[in-house]
Structure 1
């Protein structure tokens, strides 16, 4: 099965089917320079059905209660980067992976600076910027929110937007685990303009917990918690900016 997201639909249901999930595991990602463009029409063959033994109940990764919620959220939300099956960081919302060589990782180990991709949009058409990364930290670290991913951010002293597309994470102490925050299934970035009014004890009341606004290749069009989620292609995904991307299942 080609691992490039099509423009059809994804159905995530609640029936047990381990064999189907195994059969649907994507192979290693193709090179973006050689992959075939996604189909622009929707047909019966463009629908992928994922059957889980337990259905998701919330689509906010930072309020997730298990893999069922993390994986359902990851289809719509993206982290700065994620590890592939070989343990290599792969950029998603980041423009590049920080390192000592490119100056992204501070020599004293007390900060890391991320360059962000430009031109990325949320599924409602609003631009993605460094302010969304800063807000995500504020949301996750707010004890009134009760984020289930908060442990990944405890070593942080502050997160600051250097400019619209540069974020600096300052750690309390030298931190060899600089790649923990904003990475993988625990690190998706939330849209500030959607969640800012719910950064506190009302976090679980946010409408976007059920109909998320993300930067990923799909958007949710119908969600019945504990039953089924229906996704359709996000028309604002980066293909609209001349950039096509593959998603390897090992890079979630």
Structure 2
């Protein structure tokens, strides 16, 4: 397996347009230990229930918490709930809450906030549901001040993972302008187009996650060259850059690199001719040289994939698929001939123009496919058009895009269920659907085997050409330690510290 570095941005970089703070551990004027970092895009909403942007989530995970949290491996760990019980039939969840938590506005956390949260998200409180994830929830009740029970209509092994959602204080209505959570950092201010500032929560309940810095200044900046300049000049303490850009940095920096649980794929519309023929899809598997893409597009900083699953999720990862397809042009030609396409055909690769790495990947693939007489025309489209045309309406032949990682394998592999609304690959296999359905009520051990079988089925059917998991690259000052990667977007500010 080839392992290496990164595509564009994760959630950690710095801004140049910042008030000058001396390059050092603390600012003498404020006597605060400050880290200056960046997010690539403007927050879409400060209210976590209304936000959908991964960049926003990556920052505000520091402010908000759910009943459960997750660690570096993606495993669920206690959060606002110190423990939980699940009934034998999988329908009733009982959460035992911490009794030592205070919201940032001074309100004591209790069961009423959990009930308020889940009634709001599910619509059980009488208002319109805020999240479709909780449509299976039939009741949520406070047994006492620190015990809550939730009942499902149908057992769903993924439900516990959904309880990562932010718990908000009942009666507080200003989340979109002055967000209030329970996390290790308190929201201080947001200056549109410039920055978000978070302060250490001095009253945080978990000493093991108590921040080691006093303040985080998160600047809104996504331009790679500007990030490099800011790092080089000392205006930023950390940043996310392209792999090939990191080589241009001079001075005392640490380059941190890790797969990010993303799947970059060359998607084929399984319902459209000629990709409704598995032999054609398999021919494409053999014809695409993934090593060339990883080395040429990602400067070697990516992990090769063999199904729609990254090895970052090691517990569920099927590691026996590496040799199902290897780069073999002769085998690809043989399959094309068997399918009646010895002379090839023309295709269009519709690619979102705002993701240069996907455009570059499409260009490499177009050249590679010429070897099997396939003439590919690249059609760059705006992101909004791609979402409507490809993601929503599946009106395309092929595309190159990245699918963001999730913590539960059902959310990753469920994208290929035949009746899933966003199954833009148009993969349709009743046996696959059955496996996904079985996994909803299976034991943990059974789920592992079922999801591994799902990965194998996708690979055997060549539902798409999965290319790589582009690595995330975080560049930090050499004395800034603790940067930690997670299988979902999260800049964990609580772990950052300066080495004296």
Residue 95 of structure 1: aligned partner: 82
> Structure 1 53/47 Cα, relative in aligned 2: closer, same or farther at 3 Å?
same
Q: How does 1:165-176 map to 2 (within 5 A)?
A: 165-176=146-157
**Are the aligned partners of 2:13 and 2:40 in contact in 1 as well (CA < 8 Å)?**
no
Richer in strand (by share): 2
Unaligned runs of 5+ in 2: 1-7, 15-25, 212-483, 491-500
Q: Does structure 1 residue 189 correspond to structure 2 residue 146?
A: no
**Are the aligned partners of 1:93 and 1:117 in contact in 2 as well (CA < 8 Å)?**
yes
Q: 2:209 aligns with which of 228, 232, 245?
A: 245
C-alpha separation in 2, matches of 1:19 and 1:89: 22
1:14-57 Cα offsets, whole Å, 9 max, x none, are xxx9489289xxxxxxxxxxxxxxx9x9645x212221221213
C-alpha separation in 2, matches of 1:237 and 1:81: 16
Q: 1:51 aligns with which of 13, 16, 38?
A: 38
C-alpha separation in 2, matches of 1:167 and 1:79: 14
Residue 179 of structure 1 aligns to a residue in which SS?
A: helix
Alpha-carbon distance, 1:146 to partner = 6.3
Alpha-carbon distance, 1:71 to partner = 2.2
Alpha-carbon distance, 1:69 to partner = 2.3
C-alpha separation in 1, matches of 2:108 and 2:46: 21
> Structure 1 19/169 Cα, relative in aligned 2: closer, same or farther at 3 Å?
closer
**Are the aligned partners of 1:58 and 1:225 in contact in 2 as well (CA < 8 Å)?**
no
Could you state the TM-score of these two structures normalised by the residue count of structure 1?
0.67
> Structure 1 237/145 Cα, relative in aligned 2: closer, same or farther at 3 Å?
farther
C-alpha separation in 1, matches of 2:11 and 2:163: 30
| Aligned residues: CA RMSD | 2.9
Residue 65 of structure 1: aligned partner: 52
Q: Does structure 1 residue 124 correspond to structure 2 residue 88?
A: no
Residue 218 of structure 1: aligned partner: 185
Residue 4 of structure 1: aligned partner: none
Residue 12 of structure 1: aligned partner: none
Alpha-carbon distance, 1:118 to partner = 0.9
> Structure 1 234/87 Cα, relative in aligned 2: closer, same or farther at 3 Å?
closer
Q: Please tell me whether Structure 1 or Structure 2 has the larger radius of gyration of its CA atoms.
A: 2
**Are the aligned partners of 2:184 and 2:204 in contact in 1 as well (CA < 8 Å)?**
yes
C-alpha separation in 2, matches of 1:229 and 1:145: 30
Q: Using CA pairs below 8 Å that are at least 6 residues apart, which structure has the higher relative contact order?
A: 1
Residue 141 of structure 2 aligns to a residue in which SS?
A: strand
**Are the aligned partners of 1:111 and 1:178 in contact in 2 as well (CA < 8 Å)?**
no
C-alpha separation in 2, matches of 1:170 and 1:19: 36
C-alpha separation in 2, matches of 1:134 and 1:122: 16
Structure 1 stretches of 4+ with a deviation exceeding 3 A read 17-20, 41-44, 142-146, 246-249
Alpha-carbon distance, 1:233 to partner = 1.5
C-alpha separation in 1, matches of 2:149 and 2:139: 8
> Structure 1 63/146 Cα, relative in aligned 2: closer, same or farther at 3 Å?
farther
**Are the aligned partners of 2:91 and 2:152 in contact in 1 as well (CA < 8 Å)?**
yes
Could you state the TM-score of these two structures normalised by the residue count of structure 2?
0.36
